[in-house]
Amino acid sequence: MIRAVLFDLDGVLTDTSEYHYLAWKRLADELGIPFDREDNEALRGVSRRESLVLLLKGRPATEEEMQEWMDRKNRYYVESISQMTPDNLLPGALDLLHELRENGYKTAIVSSSKNTPMVLERLNIANLMDTVVDGNAPARSKPAPDLFLLAAERLGVSPQECLVVEDAAAGIDAARAAGMRTLGLGPRERVGHADLVLPDLKGVHLSDLKPVLE
């Protein structure tokens, strides 16, 4: 029996994954490193530092350079999210959150992003969460299970009682490693290893989630 639904943030509840891509793309262009949407798939869900390592494709860099590039990318990203409003919630997200809570499920955010507090504030959904675990937590990032396990602990539920909603391969890997059930959003090539796969949350209701909730 599922008692809690743990939502990834970027690319699940809001389209910030596009802003992350555009910010990395701008940095890559400035550094003269080829980088396209296909390369970006591997960055989905992973931490800022790991994303930079993937983007550099083995190009040598000092710690000082790495710091400057991560800060620069984050400035570009923060610039774009500072304009966000609740209208940036993806279709279906708010309805599903309300429906889950009305039916007694606990809800949480589990994101690798250190910018989670700001995005939640812009979207005005922090009050719909029983807990928020993000990239500021002193734990290993996805694909390690740590962030999801921390959320379950805070909610007082076992991993087997959690359903994770994710758009990233690394996120599904992390949830599975935690022993949780998974709903993957997006193409099968990316999240086909989830227990249930849907294109997105548009028009999704509790009844559609029956196979993974019971």
Task: Give the residue ranges of DSSP H helices in the chain.
Answer: 16-31, 37-41, 48-56, 63-81, 93-102, 116-123, 146-155, 169-177, 188-191, 210-213
- Rounded distance between C-alpha atoms, residue 81 and residue 72, angstroms: 15
Q: Is residue 3 a contact partner of residue 161, using CB atoms and an 8 Å limit?
A: yes
The pattern of x and - marking residues 168 through 187 that bind ligand BG6 according to CB under 6 A reads x-------------------
- Rounded distance between C-alpha atoms, residue 39 and residue 123, angstroms: 28
203-213 burial, b for 16+ CB within 10 Å, e for fewer?
ebeeeebeebb
Residue 8 touching Mg ion (CB under 5 A): yes
For residue 143, whether the previous peptide bond is cis, meaning omega lies within 30 degrees of 0, is yes
- Please identify which residue in 89, 168, 175, 198 interacts with Mg ion, judged by CB under 5 A: 168
- Please identify which residue in 27, 100, 107, 111 interacts with ligand BG6, judged by CB under 6 A: 111
The pattern of x and - marking residues 10 through 29 that bind ligand BG6 according to CB under 6 A reads x------x--x---------
Residue 74 touching ligand BG6 (CB under 6 A): yes
- Quote the radius of gyration of the chain (alpha carbons, Å): 17
Token duo for residue 202:
């548009």
**Interface residues for ligand BG6 in 31-70 (CB under 6 A)?**
43-45, 47-48, 51
Residue 146 touching Mg ion (CB under 5 A): no
Query: In 3D, which of 176, 211, 210, 212 has the Cα closest to residue 193?
Result: 176
Count of Cβ atoms closer than 10 Å to residue 127 Cβ: 6
Residue 106 touching ligand BG6 (CB under 6 A): no
Question: Measured from the CB of residue 211, what is the shortest distance to ligand BG6 in angstroms?
Answer: 26
- Please identify which residue in 2, 12, 100, 115 interacts with ligand BG6, judged by CB under 6 A: 115
71 is a catalytic site residue = no
* Choices 82-90, 92-100, 111-119, 124-132; region in contact with ligand BG6 by CB under 6 A: 111-119
Contacted by 48, from Mg ion, ligand BG6, none: CB < 5 to 8 Å by type: ligand BG6
195 is a catalytic site residue = no
Query: In 3D, which of 2, 41, 4, 9 has the Cα closest to residue 117?
Result: 9
Residues in the site for Mg ion, rule: CB under 5 A? 8, 10-11, 45, 167-168
Task: Report the catalytic residues.
Answer: 8, 10
Residues in the site for ligand BG6, rule: CB under 6 A? 10, 17, 20, 43-45, 47-48, 51, 74, 111-115, 135, 168
